[in-house]
Amino acid sequence: MMGIPNLPDDNVPLGESEDDNIVIKTVGTPKEFNFIPKEHWDIGESTGIIDFTRGVKVAKSRFAALKGIGARLERALINYFLDFNRERGFEEWYVPFMANSNTLRGTGQLPKFEDDLFKIEGEDLYLIPTAEVSLTNLFNDEIVPQNELPMLLTSYTPCFRKEAGSAGRDTRGIIRQHQFDKVEMVAITKQEQSEEVFKKMVECASDLLTSLELPHQVVQLCTGDLGFSAATTIDLEVWLPGQGQYREISSISNTRDFQARRAKIRYKDGKKNMLCHTLNGSSLAVGRTLVAIIENNQNEDGSITVPSVLQKYM
């Protein structure tokens, strides 16, 4: 039973793969360059802000090191994302970067996706693949006071994934790494609140991209591309001129009561215990935002223009 995924909502389009996803709308217009735009790994190496060779030397493939302005831009993005989310009503948390097996079962990473997790030898601990795990399970096996719902949470964490099923995909650059930074949104709601909160979370992440002047599209995932725990998911895909295509930068899901059932997260409605609804979403994947800024704001002389909203953080 623990290996059976969530049931898709009735309005989720039927499909077999990402090719059957539906673009709901496009936000912003891709910039026209008077030169051929480069991909982020070429810009990163020419400016010296991304060091792929030393990242691999320290760890292994799919690791990179950021240097100087690159490292400062990563930190600026994290601070800006947290401030932006806090202004939208999300309470900031700082959570453990490791989680036990009960926690990972609660949000659906175990038992199905154990091969993609980094296990701590000799401990009932794993490195977290996303802050969704820690934030949601803060309330594992609790009855949350009804008057505290909805709870909106945000946190920065590094994320660790073996990328077990991604052989040969995105082997260059920092799109798909074993370690990456992310600022996450999580919501715990009453059952009748989750649809409204879902829309709010999509809007928050989209507005964040707009504030960075990054063109993106809003995409409804079909049944064949839906994640294990999700009942419905909206992806935000950012335009990367170096690649000439939109790439996922945020995935926002309403899991309904699927995770709350596994994690025993409840609230009292009168005398009756009700299962909460839980939601999660990237706001945003920091490394992919860094990539998008580098590619969209590149200049012909090789320099990169920092978005105005980030300049005070630099």
Mean pLDDT by 10 residues, the chain (314 residues): 95 97 98 96 95 96 96 98 98 98 98 96 98 98 97 98 78 92 98 98 98 98 98 98 96 98 95 96 97 97 96 96
88 is a catalytic site residue: no
* Catalytic-labelled residue, pool 88, 283, 288, 295: 288
**216 forms bridges with which residues in the sheet?**
27, 238
Q: What is the pTM of this model?
A: 0.96
72 is a catalytic site residue: no
Sketch the domain layout of the chain as residue ranges: 18-299+307-311
Of 113, 195, 207, 84, the closest CA to residue 150 belongs to 195
pLDDT score recorded for residue 172: 87
pLDDT score recorded for residue 69: 95
Cβ–Cβ under 8 Å, residues 176 and 166? yes
Query: Which architecture characterizes domain 18-299+307-311 according to CATH?
Result: 2-Layer Sandwich (3.30)
> Strand locations in 145-210, DSSP E?
151-160, 179-189
The 3 state secondary structure assigned to 226-247 is: CCCCCCEEEEEEEEECCCCEEE
What stretch of H or E contains 261? helix 258-263
CA dist 2 and 277 (Å) reads 18
pLDDT score recorded for residue 170: 77
251 is a catalytic site residue: yes
* Catalytic-labelled residue, pool 72, 74, 142, 176: 176
* Catalytic-labelled residue, pool 62, 105, 161, 266: 161
pLDDT score recorded for residue 171: 75
pLDDT score recorded for residue 169: 74
Q: What is the CA radius of gyration of the chain?
A: 19
Residues in contact with 238: Cβ distance below 8 Å, sequence separation at least 6, in sequence order: 209, 214, 215, 216, 246, 247, 249, 288, 289, 292
Residue bearing tokens 């649809």:
195
- 277: tokens are 């609804």
161 is a catalytic site residue: yes
